Amino acid sequence: MAERTAAPEAVEAALALLAPRRLVVLGGAGLSTDSGIPDYRGPVAEGRPPRPTPMTYGDFVSGSAARQRYWARSHLGWARMRRADPNPGHRAVAAIDPELLITQNVDGLHEAAGTRRMVALHGRIADVVCLDCRATSPRAALQERMAAANPDWAERHGSVLVRPDGDVDLEDTSDFVVPPCEACGGVLKPDVVFFGENVPAARVERCFAAVDALRPDDGALLAVGTSLTVMSGFRFVRRAVRGDVPVVVVNRGATRGDELATYALDVGCSGFLDALDARRREVRARDAGARVG
């Protein structure tokens, strides 16, 4: 079991391990907190309410009241989330250009930062799917329809606190109007994997293939900004360990993967990723110089 630490010598050792290797990066909500998007399991800022248990798929399909509650709160939260910009951590991941980024986030900020090879494991909050006809559509279009159907909603609830994944701290949603699917009149759902849903098999297989392609002598898995609490992401750590591939975990607070990690670092995501990007640039420059010489 790796000892969770912020010691500079441990950070240096982890950077030295990762810098020359082919990487698969597994990212979580901690990567987006510097963009103003709260996570589910990190430290709660003073003055903020405790984080709620997220809505499950079973809750969402249980009836119209649950969907009304979800969409009323999401309508406010997503309006703020969509204005978030990629932070230095997102940009560093894009510059590092891993063999594959497996992101558990749904905010689309890695795409906005320019990451080339990635799997959005849990989907994207910017898309909407109909549970009846399976038609997909842009969330922005639904946002406009909800605003038209609820013309004073944003003004009446402008001071509510943002929660993770575009949710907000709001209890009374009984008068919110939820538009149906324009194609068939069916039930609309964000095209993301809710708790209680399965990640599509094709996404999982692509991620497993990337991890399996890593070799113990020149590959590594970097898990950053994730507590690895849910099996959805933790399974890739276990897969790497079974292949004797080194695993580095970077997160504020303990994670489920600490006992499997080569290094478990209690440091900030953006700072570590910036340092790793700089170190990898040094390695490339050194290797290019050696080839020329």
- Residues flagged as binding site for Zn(2+): 130, 133, 181, 184
- Rounded Cα distance, 186 and 135, in Å: 10
Paired sense of beta strands 123-130 and 188-192, if any = antiparallel
Please say if 110 is a catalytic residue.
no
Q: Per the residue annotation, which of 75, 90, 110, 122 is the catalytic one? A: 122
Residue partners of 141: CB distance under 8 A and separation at least 6: 128
Crossing angle for the helix pair 269-292 and 8-18, to the nearest 10 degrees: 50
Q: Spell out the residues 6+ positions from residue 271 whose beta carbon is closer than 8 angstroms to its own.
A: none
Task: Write b or e for each residue in 46-59: b if 16 or more Cβ atoms lie within 10 A of its Cβ, otherwise e.
Answer: eeeeebeeebeeeb
How many other C-beta atoms are found inside a 10 Å radius of the C-beta of residue 188?
23
Q: Which residue numbers are catalytic?
A: 122
